[in-house]
Amino acid sequence: MSMISSVAFIFVTACPPPPAPTPPTPDAADSGGPSATCEAWCSHAADLKCEAAKPTAKGATCTVVCLNVQNSGVVVWNLRCRVAATSCALADECEKGK
């Protein structure tokens, strides 16, 4: 009986429980604020005439650059802050202090 108990114990403990689901983050649009997407940031940057809205020297659009940054895992832009910024300089300040 102890052999069966040992095998059962191994099977039960070998499988970790599934991870808890991540709670959804409400989109800014849901809360009445501006949408916090790369497309929204780039459109806003263009309205503000920010350098970030212009294509790179190799032709990558603002949206492509933004998505690359967001998906890099190294740096993440605070898009909510950037979309709400009233100037390019303020948008550039969004990640400071994080």
Domain assignment present for 17:
no
Give the Å distances, CA to CA, from 40 to 60, 67, 78.
17, 12, 12
* In the predicted structure, residue 29 carries a pLDDT above the cut 60: no
Structural domain including 57 reads 32-98
How many structural domains are present in the chain? 1
Whether residue 93 lies inside any domain: the answer is yes
| Predicted confidence (pLDDT) per residue in 38-72, tens digit | 999 999 999 999 999 999 999 999 999 999 999 99
Q: Would residue 81 count as lying in a domain? A: yes
In a domain, 67, yes or no: yes
Supply the pTM of this predicted model.
0.64
Rounded to whole angstroms, the Cα distance separating 5 from 56 reads 64
